[in-house]
Chains A and B, each alone.
Chain A
Amino acid sequence: MIFRSADMKNGPAVEYGEPVIEITGVYKSFGSNHVLKDFNLTINRGENVVVLGKSGCGKSVLIKCIIGLLSYDAGSIKVFGNEISQLPIAELDELRARIGFVFQSSALYDSMTVRENLEFPLRRHGKHKSKSEVQGLVEETLKDVGLLDAINLMPSELSGGMRKRIGLARSLILHPEIMLYDEPTTGLDPITSGEIINLMLNVQKKYNTTSITISHDMHCAKVTGNRLAIIVNGVNYSDGTFEELSIIDDPQTHPFFE
């Protein structure tokens, strides 16, 4: 059974903007391991979609394909109407400036201070910013994640939660329109996890972002997602709101809500 929100009589309660990410018939394999098979998902402006699925089912692969870190074997991924696989590298870089990516491991540059970590994408994407503008943006973004005091620390001096927040700040510094979160709360205690979830909600409000969140954390999925997509055997198996999916009596979907 493949469940779609449209199957419900009432349909989704909130109307969103135009599609910003359109994934159509995407296939991705690693050798004989077929991770994504005819995967389809459309995300409209303002939507916050949480992608769920078992470990190794291709959730992280999906968002890495969206941002062009991985190539896909077949199908189409359009972001703001641009086919990712056909973009020249310069245009792909321009597009990436409109997308924030929060890595599972935070991926902070070990050899740089927090300030330098945040300055890095600014200098790379926004070449014409003056020193004072860069400094102002770095401080403002660090204030947003509540870590202005950590500005001169090295990543090795930060706790796991702080690293996640700095990772989030680094991806926010270019004021992206789309946020991709790869397991933002994995490995964190419930309190820190709650702080990260609150930050994600603040980001949605302040920057009016569209987002895809990869998560195993059902609390995070419930609070941050307007819509959930569950990957089973490489396809978008169930797609709907938390409330819709939680009442489905289906052996593939139900275990996520137990």
Chain B
Amino acid sequence: MNNSPNIKPDKEVPELKEGFFDLLPKGLTEFLNEAGEIARFAGKFFKQAFRPPFEFKEVLKQAFEIGYRSLSLVAITSFIIGLVLTLQSRPTLVEFGAEAWLPSMVGISIIRELGPVVIALICAGKIGSSIGAELGSMKVTEQIDAMEVSGTNPFKYIVVTRILSTTLTIPILIIIGDAVALYGSYLAVNIRGSVSFTLFFKQVFDSLEFSDVVPAFIKTFFFGFAIGLIGCYKGYNSKKGTEGVGRSANSAVVIGSLLVFIIDLIAVQITEFFGFL
């Protein structure tokens, strides 16, 4: 806070000379501005996440809200993905006489890519929008100010806890989703053929390698972090009014989903670079 009594806001500010950023298209400067603000927001998260007091109770509460309440949606969609993927892939494999490879192919697809990405997108929709709308409405109805007046650091209490919760909960949701998708696949295999539960899962796990599981699992933490970060950023910086709340929720989903793809792309490049694949 500038507290010098000599500074008068009426003072005229000299006109700035045109710089490099003024020459860029407006859309690009806005994008760079937004990216910079998100990076600063993330920096503030890391700065405050590791400083006491720690809000463990609130992290657990949010993990329950985020995880448990998304479980049924994740389970249903994962089950359908496993079922449909198997039913769609089967005819092609039969054509090549490779029907026996069905569990391995579906297993690798789900564990490596489909499970994490699709479930992360579902979470970006459900969790990202709910965080964006909740924080947006808290901002508009002055609840965040009320928290600050009550001697609470609202960033720590609201933002840090939610980002930590999504970072820790979304990987668990993805693991559960993967398992349910594989079960859906097992049922789909048994619609036309007859494979025992043990044999199906033995084939799936035999085909999986360390390099399939670990990078796929690690990237889920980044998905969770990105979804929580964007939801909180959009909600916390929501403009006044109900329209602002809607816009926050909407852009939390759009940017969160886009980030899931970008992180996935980067993860693939990194795993290739280190020779995991």
Binding site for B on A (CB under 8 A): 25, 27, 29, 34, 37, 64, 67, 69, 71-76, 83, 85-86, 89, 93, 96-97, 99, 101, 103-105, 107-110, 120-121, 124-125, 170
Number of A-B contacts (CB under 8 A): 78
Shortest distance in angstroms between B8's beta carbon and chain A's nearest beta carbon? 7
Determine the chain A residues whose CB is within 8 A of the CB of B4 once the complex forms: 74
**Chain A residue contacts of B152, Cβ below 8 A:** 120, 124
Asked if B214 is at the interface of the complex by the 8 Å CB criterion, the answer is no
Partner of B3, one of A83, A93, A96, A109: A83
Q: Is the CB of A27 within 8 A of B9?
A: yes
Minimum CB–CB distance from B39 to chain A (whole Å) comes to 23
- Supply 12 A–B pairs (Cβ within 8 Å), ascending by A: A37-B9, A73-B7, A74-B3, A74-B5, A74-B9, A75-B5, A86-B3, A101-B146, A107-B146, A109-B146, A120-B152, A125-B150
Q: How far apart sit A37 and B7, CA to CA, in the bound complex (Å)?
A: 12
A105 touches B142 (CB 8 A): yes
Say what secondary structure dominates the interface of chain B.
loop
Binding site for A on B (CB under 8 A): 1-10, 137-138, 141-143, 145-153
Q: In angstroms, how far is the closest chain B Cβ from the Cβ of A99? A: 8
Residues of chain B lying within 8 A (CB to CB) of residue A85: 1, 3
- Cβ–Cβ < 8 Å partners of A103 in chain B: 142, 145-146
User: In the complex the two chains form, is B5's CB within 8 Å of A34's CB?
Assistant: no
Q: Which residue of A lies closest to B145 (CB)?
A: A69
A26 to B179, CA, bound (A): 62
Q: A25-B5, A27-B9 are in contact. Are A104 and B142 (CB under 8 A)?
A: yes
Q: How far is the CA of A103 from the CA of B4 in the complex (A)?
A: 29
The answer to whether residues A124 and B150 also contact, given A29-B9, A34-B10, A74-B9 and a CB cut-off of 8 A, is: yes
Q: How far is the CA of A161 from the CA of B145 in the complex (A)?
A: 21
**A93-B151 contact in complex given A27-B9, A72-B1, A73-B7, C-beta closer than 8 Å:** yes
Q: Are B150 and A120 in contact (CB under 8 A)?
A: yes
- Closest chain-A Cβ to B249's Cβ sits at a distance in Å of 15
Once bound together, how far apart are the Cα atoms of A184 and B146, in whole Å?
A: 15
Given A69-B148, A120-B150, the answer on whether A74 and B7 have CB atoms closer than 8 Å is yes
Residue with the highest number of chain B CB atoms closer than 10 Å, among A74, A97, A110: A74
Q: Are A67 and B149 in contact (CB under 8 A)?
A: yes
- Given the complex of chains A and B, what is the CA–CA distance between A233 and B2 in angstroms? 22
Task: Kindly list chain B residues whose C-beta atoms are within 8 Å of the C-beta of A89.
Answer: 153
In the complex, residue of chain A having the shortest beta-carbon distance to the beta carbon of B146: A107
Task: Look across to chain A and name the residue whose beta carbon is closest to the beta carbon of B150.
Answer: A121
Residues of chain A with a CB closer than 8 A to B145's CB: 64, 69, 103, 107
* Distance A75 CA – B9 CA, assembled complex (angstroms): 11
Query: Across chains A and B, which 6 residue pairs bring their CB atoms closest together, nearest first?
Result: A107-B146, A71-B1, A121-B150, A85-B1, A107-B142, A93-B151
B9→A76 contact, CB < 8 A: no
Contacts of A97 in B (CB 8 A): 151
A46 CA / B2 CA spacing, docked (Å): 31
Q: How far is the CB of A6 from chain B (nearest CB, A)?
A: 23
B90 CB to nearest chain A CB (Å): 47
Closest to B153 in A: A89
Known contacts A104-B142, A107-B141: does B149 contact A74 (CB below 8 Å)? no
